[in-house]
Amino acid sequence: MDLQTLWFAAVAVLWTGFLLLEGFDFGVAALLPVIGRRPADRHLMLRSIGPLWDGNEVWLITAAGAVFAAFPGWYATWLPALYLPFVLVLFGLIIRAVAFEWRHSHHTEQWDSTWTNVIVTGSLIAALGVGAALGGTTLGLPIDGDGIRVGGAFAGVTWSALLGGVAVLAYSMVHGAVFLALKTEGPVRLAARAFARRWSLVAAVPLLAWAGLVQLREGTAVTAVLWLVAALAVLVAWASIRVDREGPAFSAWAVVMLASAATIFGAVYPVVVVSSIDPAFDVTIAEASVSDYTLTVMTWAAGIGLPIVLGYQAWTYWVFRKRLTADPETPHADATEEQVRA
Amino acid sequence: MDVLDVARWQFGITTVYHFMMVPLTIGLGILLVVMHTMWVRTDNPEWLRMTRFWGRIYLINFVLGVATGLVQEFQFGLAWSEYSRFVGDVFGSLLALEALLAFFLESTFLGLWIFGWGRIPKKVHLAALWAAVIGSIVSAYFIIAANSWMQHPVGVVTNDATGRPEQVDFLAVLTNNTAIAAFSHTIVGALMVAAALLVGIGLWHLRKRRLAGLSPEDVDHSVWRRSVRIGGFASLIAFVLVAVTGDYQAKLMYQQQPLKMSSAEALCETEAPAPFSVFAFGKLGSNECDDVHSWTVPALLSYLAHGDFETAVPGVNQLQEEYAAAYGATYPDDPSFGDKAGEPIDYTPLLAVTYWNFRLMIGMGMVSAGVAAYALWATRRGRVPTSRIGVYGSLLAVGAPFVANASGWIFTEMGRQPFVVYPNPDVPREEQVYFFTAQAVSPGVSAAEVWTSLIALTLVYGALAVVELWLIVNFVRRGVTTSDGAPTPGHTPDGDPDADVTPGSASTRRADDDDVLSFAY
């Protein structure tokens, strides 16, 4: 495999990791008004993602950074084509981030509910927006032969972008619900389970449609199989949640994203920005890439750095692995006295 | 204004704003590591309270730094796509490495630190803070290495096919002497910011407690006193280092970007020995160097630039001619230069901006060091200052190192105009890599779009600044509220079960509110 292909794969892995990890914290936030009826439930939901969301968000920063580092031609075509939509995503991410920290820096009911609403709004915008951006670059943006957007400021917001946005949001909501079912105890767990049971089949449709469209246009036999794996995983996830097996449901639902993203990136390869005007204007990895020297440097750095990152991130997930409850006396369902005081 | 100017304003506003949070994060992180380490080593509750109090401010500020940092990363692609294409082979990899090797560390371990109180062993918990703070410092190095490459491009050759620089020596990019100078200067400058905060807030609380007749024997008193002493010493030490690193950096800049430095001195003609301008008057705004007159100290500039009192320092007028001869008197008549195509190039950065920001930076640094010296003197041998002017002056002077940091960067960045990537004079002219700011902006984005984002970002940033300040002021006013220093009943001294207990009702929440140990969620 040449370095450009390797880095295309690396970028795809980073985006997938982001969608998978930040997906559940986007989802939990989006579910706050849906299943967090009492304030205590909402606190519980926020606590379940509190220690994790910031580390998850770094996946976005790293994914965008890797696009810039490995394929500046992609970065410099994709971002300006969706200038205002990207700015909107940034807003979502900014208000969401500050709301997570500031919410508990002052204590009144009003303050609390305001920032909780900000978290919901910011997460909705960010999930929709990042999905739209990925939908645009893989399904088509109105760019000309110089990689410049044709049409007005919102020309990039096409049906394909909307599909991507809805796909990521819908996926994330069920993802968040399964995560809550896995992470919490009590009414939130029950409500989350019910939500996942009701919506998992429907929520997978836009994502499968997106992957299916890319597949129909440029797919190979391998990606066709991947798409089928994704579709099958939806059924497994649905069946598991129906019998209240949250662990398998979470794994299967994660496979839905892994296989869908693999279909999308695998099928669109070697194109990084699809032009909706003329396939001849597509930006490919060869045109967008940096030199082999830089890719080699990056490969070494990522080869050493990424396993370490994965290691310590996994460790923090392990540290915060306990189920949470809304009861202040026993915050962790299965925490013993020693563990709390350790 | 055309799209170039709007995009530059946007970059300036968002970057200066972002850099209000960053030095506080870096500086306070270093001091926080000291406090937390001391607590783990000594088990003295004063250190725990300091860690908790300053840690909260650290977090309120940290998150805004992260949030506004997102805009920085995306902005290169959004508004400066031609720049991103041009520098992609070097610049992008530094940003990606920052995220991968530093920012992950910082974010993940900070989450662990916030939520880990009482949940993981004490020493592991301390190690999490160390990891997070080391992450923020490494992060600063990568970002400054990226910026320094724009100031002084090294480790690249031009690819003739694409006309763009191609990296050939990554180690040279990482060990760029410009980066080493700027990094050391920035870190000690950041330390001054945090130190001034400790001094200002600590003095204010000490005075308030004394006026209220509170005992100087309890833990609270020691917390504030210790904060002032640590802040005062840190500030003075950092100031000395700021001066040393600044001197090194300035000497380097005289070689690498002489026009920036001569503009900062309003030195019009080459002189040997060159005088140092103390105060300039005349029409700095006209950007014609000969309209400016200064009060000067003879030969001092030669000493600052070259370490002796004789060597010539080139003047703005000569340099302007040299640059025009080397890089053209007018921009090429090419659409990629936008409105600037065919226009004459002014190689002199805005004189008023460079001249005054340079002085503001130095002046505010001195003010800050002076306040630190006053604070140490006023608190010597257990004293508590009651001087209203002294204490409120110190509180006001918390802003001084912020201004110094901002003006230093404004000087650095405005001083490299009209280039966004400044030609490296150590390289033969025909092999030099350089890029004009006028070429850097995204060609497909309209001025209306950038105006929209500029206005929207400025409004949101303004609102967030108000909330952040309000939160910090509120929190500072409340201070360390548990007065006896003993652990609150129900809490183990080494842990805080509170951190992971969601208060189930409003009454528990309020009770937690009064407890300094209550933290996060």
- Whether residue A188 lies inside any domain: the answer is yes
CA neighbor of B351 nearest in space, from B257, B406, B408, B417: B417
CB B340 within 8 A of CB B328: no
pLDDT of residue B174: 94
Q: Each residue of B358-373: pLDDT tens digit?
A: 999 999 999 999 999 9
Residue A287, domain extent = 3-204+274-322
Query: Average pLDDT of B110-128?
Result: 88
- Per the model's pLDDT, the better-predicted residue between B457 and A104 turns out to be B457
| B271-298 per-residue burial string, b: 16 or more CB within 10 A, e: under 16 | bebbbbbeebeeebeebebeebebebee
- Chain B residue closest in CA terms to A63: B96
> What are the start-end ranges of the E strands in B118-208?
156-159, 164-167
List chain A residues with CB under 8 Å of B98.
65
Do A340 and B82 make contact, defined as CB atoms within 8 angstroms? no
CB B89 within 8 A of CB A92: no
C-alpha to C-alpha distance for A229 and A23, rounded to whole angstroms: 20
List chain B residues with CB under 8 Å of A293.
166-168, 170
Structure tokens given for B10: 């946007």
Q: Is B355 left (phi over 0), alpha (psi -120 to 50) or beta?
A: alpha
CB A68 within 8 A of CB B87: no
pLDDT of residue A330: 56
CB B83 within 8 A of CB B462: no
Q: Does the bond joining B298 to the residue before it have cis omega, within 30 degrees of 0? A: no
Q: Helices marked H in B274-350 — which ranges?
A: 300-306, 316-327
- CA A4 to chain B, closest CA, distance in angstroms equals 13
CB A86 within 8 A of CB B78: yes
- Per the model's pLDDT, the better-predicted residue between B478 and B232 turns out to be B232
C-alpha to C-alpha distance for B382 and B164, rounded to whole angstroms: 62
For helices A53-70 and A72-81, angle between their N-to-C axes, nearest 10 degrees: 110
Do B464 and A55 make contact, defined as CB atoms within 8 angstroms? no
pLDDT of residue B490: 34
Do B513 and A107 make contact, defined as CB atoms within 8 angstroms? yes
CB contacts < 8 A, A to B, total: 262
pLDDT of residue B335: 84
- Chain B residue closest in CA terms to A288: B85
- Whether residue A242 lies inside any domain: the answer is no
List chain B residues with CB under 8 Å of A149.
444-445
pLDDT of residue A332: 58
- CA B129 to chain A, closest CA, distance in angstroms equals 14
Do A328 and B167 make contact, defined as CB atoms within 8 angstroms? no
Report residue A156: phi and psi, to 5°.
Answer: -75, -20
- Whether residue A329 lies inside any domain: the answer is no
**Among A173-187, A321-335, B149-163, which stretch is predicted with the lowest mean pLDDT?**
A321-335
List chain A residues with CB under 8 Å of B498.
none
pLDDT of residue A117: 92
List chain B residues with CB under 8 Å of A95.
67, 460
Compare CB distances from B78 to A86, A106, A305 and report the shortest one's residue: A86
A 51-80 → B contacts, CB under 8 A = 51-52, 54-55, 57-58, 61-62, 64-66, 68-70, 72-73, 75-80
Give the 3-state secondary structure of chain A: CCHHHHHHHHHHHHHHHHHHHHHHHHHHHHHHHHHCCCHHHHHHHHHHHCCCHHHHHHHHHHHHHHHHHHCHHHHHHHHHHCHHHHHHHHHHHHHHHHHHHHHHHCCCHHHHHHHHHHHHHHHHHHHHHHHHHHHHHHHCECECCCCCECCCCCCCCCHHHHHHHHHHHHHHHHHHHHHHHHHECCHHHHHHHHHHHHHHHHHHHHHHHHHHHHHHHHCCHHHHHHHHHHHHHHHHHHHHHHCCCHHHHHHHHHHHHHHHHHHHHHHHCCEEECECCCHHHCEEHHHHCCCHHHHHHHHHHHHHHHHHHHHHHHHHHHHCCCCECCCCCCCECCCCHHHHHC
- CA A134 to chain B, closest CA, distance in angstroms equals 15
In angstroms, how far is CA B64 from the centroid of its own chain?
14
C-alpha to C-alpha distance for B511 and B203, rounded to whole angstroms: 28
Name residue B140's beta-bridge partners: none
User: Which of A22, A60, A79, A289 has the most B C-beta neighbours within 10 Å, making it the best mutation to test the interface with B?
Assistant: A79
Q: Each residue of B423-467: pLDDT tens digit?
A: 999 989 888 999 999 999 999 899 999 999 999 999 999 999 999
C-alpha to C-alpha distance for A204 and B278, rounded to whole angstroms: 69
User: Which of A49, A75, A325, A332 has the most B C-beta neighbours within 10 Å, making it the best mutation to test the interface with B?
Assistant: A75
Q: Each residue of B291-324: pLDDT tens digit?
A: 777 788 888 888 888 888 888 888 888 888 899 9
Q: Is residue B480 pLDDT above 80, yes or no? A: no
Query: Average pLDDT of A50-61?
Result: 85
C-alpha to C-alpha distance for B84 and B72, rounded to whole angstroms: 13
**Among A201-210, B266-275, B368-377, which stretch is predicted with the lowest mean pLDDT?**
B266-275
CB A84 within 8 A of CB B453: yes
Band of residue B40 on the pLDDT scale cut at 50, 70, 90: very high
Do A72 and B509 make contact, defined as CB atoms within 8 angstroms? no
Amino acid at A135: G
Could you tell me the CA-to-CA distances from B224 to A62, A80, B401, B489 in Å, in that order? 40, 50, 21, 24
Band of residue A326 on the pLDDT scale cut at 50, 70, 90: confident
C-alpha to C-alpha distance for B149 and B164, rounded to whole angstroms: 14
Helix (H) or strand (E) holding B277: strand B276-282
Q: Is residue B290 pLDDT above 80, yes or no? A: no
Structure tokens given for B34: 């000291």
Q: What is the average pLDDT score of chain B?
A: 86
- Whether residue A32 lies inside any domain: the answer is yes
Query: Average pLDDT of B148-167?
Result: 91
Q: Is residue B504 pLDDT above 70, yes or no? A: no
Q: Is residue A337 pLDDT above 60, yes or no? A: no
- CA A96 to chain B, closest CA, distance in angstroms equals 9
Helix (H) or strand (E) holding B280: strand B276-282
- Whether residue A61 lies inside any domain: the answer is yes
- Per the model's pLDDT, the better-predicted residue between B498 and B89 turns out to be B89
- Chain B residue closest in CA terms to A96: B67
C-alpha to C-alpha distance for A184 and A331, rounded to whole angstroms: 10
Could you tell me the CA-to-CA distances from B126 to B37, B120, B495 in Å, in that order? 7, 10, 12
Tally of domains within chain A: 1
CB B398 within 8 A of CB B192: no
Band of residue A308 on the pLDDT scale cut at 50, 70, 90: very high
| A120-157 per-residue burial string, b: 16 or more CB within 10 A, e: under 16 | bbbbbbbbbbbbbbbbbbbbbbbbeeebbbbeebebbb
Could you tell me the CA-to-CA distances from B136 to A302, A315, B100, B210, B427 in Å, in that order? 19, 20, 12, 37, 33
CB B62 within 8 A of CB B110: yes
- Whether residue A215 lies inside any domain: the answer is no
Helix (H) or strand (E) holding B297: strand B292-297
Q: Each residue of A235-289: pLDDT tens digit?
A: 999 999 999 898 999 999 999 999 999 999 999 989 998 888 888 898 899 888 8
Could you tell me the CA-to-CA distances from B382 to B221, B229, B323, B377 in Å, in that order? 10, 10, 59, 10
List chain A residues with CB under 8 Å of B139.
none
Do B502 and A70 make contact, defined as CB atoms within 8 angstroms? no
Amino acid at B195: A
Do A68 and B89 make contact, defined as CB atoms within 8 angstroms? no
CA neighbor of B57 nearest in space, from B249, B197, B216: B197
**Among A46-55, A160-169, B249-258, B509-518, which stretch is predicted with the lowest mean pLDDT?**
B509-518
User: Which of B11, B18, B56, B78 has the most A C-beta neighbours within 10 Å, making it the best mutation to test the interface with A?
Assistant: B78
- CA A304 to chain B, closest CA, distance in angstroms equals 9
Residues 6+ apart with CB under 8 A from B80: B7, B11, B440, B441, B442
pLDDT of residue B342: 86
C-alpha to C-alpha distance for A75 and A86, rounded to whole angstroms: 12
C-alpha to C-alpha distance for B184 and B158, rounded to whole angstroms: 30
Band of residue B498 on the pLDDT scale cut at 50, 70, 90: very low
- Whether residue A196 lies inside any domain: the answer is yes
CB B440 within 8 A of CB B86: yes
User: Which of B87, B502, B507, B512 has the most A C-beta neighbours within 10 Å, making it the best mutation to test the interface with A?
Assistant: B502
Do A298 and B99 make contact, defined as CB atoms within 8 angstroms? no
CA neighbor of B496 nearest in space, from B475, B516, B476, B482: B516
User: Is A318 an 8 Å CB contact of chain B?
Assistant: no
Report residue B282: phi and psi, to 5°.
Answer: 95, -165
- Sign of the alpha-carbon dihedral angle for B158, B164, B170, B171: positive
pLDDT of residue B236: 96
Structure tokens given for B303: 């000493």
Q: Is residue B513 pLDDT above 60, yes or no? A: no
Structure tokens given for B328: 């053209």
C-alpha to C-alpha distance for B136 and A289, rounded to whole angstroms: 29
C-alpha to C-alpha distance for B64 and B61, rounded to whole angstroms: 6
- Whether residue A256 lies inside any domain: the answer is no
pLDDT of residue B201: 94
Residue with tokens 């009209």: B418
Band of residue B503 on the pLDDT scale cut at 50, 70, 90: very low
